[in-house]
Amino acid sequence: MPDCAVKLCSVADAAREIEELRLQGRETVLANGAFDLFHVGHVRYLQGARAQGDFLVVAVNSDESVRRLKGAGRPFLPARDRIEIVAALECVDRVVVFEESNVEGVLRTLRPNVHAKGTDYTEASVPERAVTAEIGGRTAIVGDPKDHSSTALLERILASARGSP
């Protein structure tokens, strides 16, 4: 994963790079998620996030973080695979991994201009919106309508394997 490895960095390294970009007048965007069983909704979300600025950092939940949020048996794909898939997208500039259940700490460290969330949220319902405002950023809702998810995809796969419609 040569190009993907270049995109993976620590939160501290991403923060230093974002500060340099800020001094150049460039807009930075943070998107985040588990990205388990990657699907077209993830692609559209990340493309929409990138359209909000000049540089996109994607924070991927660690395996333990996904387990806490989604329950036993998750994630379906280990973090190293999820990171490689996200990093392979042209619209993604950097990928970081975070252990927490939410991305507030990453937001405070990176201080992006924009925090992008998917359409399963409204600006008012984004859990980290207060932190984004506190750091002087804005929240953007991006991507296509939330009519697909990893959980729904798995349910369809299992139904198909059982011979159900």
**Total structural domains within the chain:** 1
pLDDT for 2 equals: 45
- Cβ-in-10-Å burial (0-12, 13-18, 19+) of 90 comes to exposed
Say which CATH number the domain at 17 has.
Answer: 3.40.50.620
| Structural domain boundaries, residue 108 | 2-162
Beta-strand ranges (E) seen in 9-112 are: 28-33, 55-61, 94-98
The model's pLDDT over 82-127, given as tens digits with 9 standing for 90+, comes to 999 999 999 999 999 999 989 999 999 999 999 999 999 999 999 9
Mean pLDDT (whole number) for 72-76: 92
The model's pLDDT over 10-58, given as tens digits with 9 standing for 90+, comes to 999 999 999 999 999 999 999 999 999 899 999 999 999 999 999 999 9
pLDDT for 1 equals: 43
Beta-strand ranges (E) seen in 37-107 are: 55-61, 94-98
Q: What is the pTM of this model?
A: 0.90
Beta-strand ranges (E) seen in the chain are: 28-33, 55-61, 94-98, 114-117, 138-141
